[in-house]
Amino acid sequence: YIAVLQLRKQNTPKEKGMPTILCFVGPPGVGKTSIGKSIAEALGKKFVKISLGGIRDEAEIRGHRRTYVGALPGRIITGMKQAGSMNPVFMLDEVDKIGADYKGDPSAALLEALDPEQNSGFEDHYLDAPFDLSQVLFITTANTLDTIPPALRDRLEIIEYTGYTESEKFHIAKDHLLPRVLTANGLSAEMVHLDDTTITMLIQRYTREAGVRSLERTLSKVLRKVGKTRVESQQKEKEKQKETTILPKDVPALLGPEKFDPSLKEASDIIGQATGLAWTSVGGDVLFIEVALTPGKGQVKLTGKLGDVMKESAQAAYTYVKSHAAELGIDEKKLAKTDIHIHIPEGAVPKDGPSAGITLVTAITSAFTGAPVQRDVAMTGEVTLRGRVLRIGGLKEKSIAAHRAGVTTVLIPKENERDLVDLPKEVTQHIKFMPIEHVSEALQTALVKKAKKTKK
């Protein structure tokens, strides 16, 4: 995008208007605003940022007519005034959090400003004259696309930011956050040394997020307590102190007990439990699906705070198993006389989405056939009543979660094979990805085959 701007400056300097408007979409703390500042710095332009979160009045964008008492120009003209330039980098933060009320819809007022074809004549009600925004490099940021109106989304070039892997977080913490936090807390690298294993422990056991904000706060908390200790001992000893080294065993004393347990694969193969993968706003996670059978009339019970889509996915999975009972080696009479209870642990956490379909089929089949599910196999994919495995989203986050849990094989839909190029090398080196088109392929791989009894 920046290369295109350079070429246009060299070859078509009279051409007005930006090629498109950028929109950075990703979870909090992944550096969307920082990239905007870096772009401005790289291009040698002024940087202006306005936050649109919570704006509900259309006049905030377009300004008030001068007939009103206390009339003011809109945020965009005010931002241009602050920049003192006709071609700044203009960041519109939190474009997904704009509200709407009886005073109008602010997102509709943005349509003209964010359309490269129209914004050369943007009309602010206060100015009451066309204002040229065609040279402004607009960058919008959002955490999710769901709440951006379709007409506004159509004008944006969307660049998705995913969460960081553990090794990326480690290098960001060591190279960027630690020097910054040391300075902010009045310390230096000569005074305090954080062992590499300590930083890894803070990432795994004390933070769980897609970005690095919480990690920065945790590092700051550790260094504040070290700083306090040094000041106290300085007053007592009144001599120059040695370097303080913080090892993993020192962390619980500074931050208290560990907040998060790493999601690990099961210790042994279990009948009626399969390992699924889930996407959350703070990265991927491992999902264990448990199935228990009790005498009854063939009813299905679902627990674990599931959303409607996931409940329907469980019903579809059970129907597939019932309709293919003979192929799967399940006694149909047993099906009719057995109630099935599907539970997804961490019952207080809301779960939704269709991508656990393949995991549900595997867990139900395992429970009825008595064949355990291999503990180092995880899976994700939506399942139809015919047993086809459909494409899912969030493969990068899910595969990182599988790698963290120690899984060695991940079953993915055939249609997601093209997404493997986006995965980090550290994940693809340790995990074997198996693209599948039908549930039968998943069952062959995931279920432990029973040894056949040999005749004497």
Active site residues: 355, 398
**Sign for the pseudo-dihedral over CA of 396, 398, 403, 409:** negative
Region for 238 from its dihedrals, namely left if φ exceeds 0, alpha if ψ lies in -120 to 50, beta otherwise: left
Q: What share of the chain is helix, strand, coil (3-state, %, to 5)?
A: 40, 20, 40
Supply the DSSP string of 168-206, one letter for each residue: HHHHHIIIIIHHHHHHHTT--TTTEEE-HHHHHHIIIII
Provide the b/e sequence for 58-96 (b: ≥16 CB within 10 Å).
bbbbbbbeeeeeeeebbbbbbbbeebeeeebbbbbbbbb
Distance CA 186, CA 227 (A): 8
Q: What is the separation, in whole angstroms, between the first and last Cα of the chain?
A: 74
Distance CA 262, CA 20 (A): 42
Distance CA 130, CA 111 (A): 15
Q: Which helix (DSSP H) or strand (DSSP E) does residue 412 occupy?
A: strand 409-413
Q: Which helix (DSSP H) or strand (DSSP E) does residue 219 occupy?
A: helix 213-237
Distance CA 80, CA 90 (A): 8
Q: Which residues contact 451 (CB under 8 A, 6 or more apart)?
A: none
41, with CB counted inside 10 A (0-12, 13-18, 19+), is exposed
Q: Which residues contact 307 (CB under 8 A, 6 or more apart)?
A: 350, 351, 352, 353
**Among the listed residues 62, 98, 56, the one whose alpha carbon sits nearest the alpha carbon of residue 78:** 62
Angstrom distances, CA of residue 170 to CA of 41, 129, 177, 445? 26, 52, 10, 34
Phi, psi at 8, each rounded to 5°: -65, -40
Q: What is the CA radius of gyration of the chain?
A: 28
Reported as half-sphere exposure (CB side, CA atoms, 13 A), residue 65 has a value of: 2
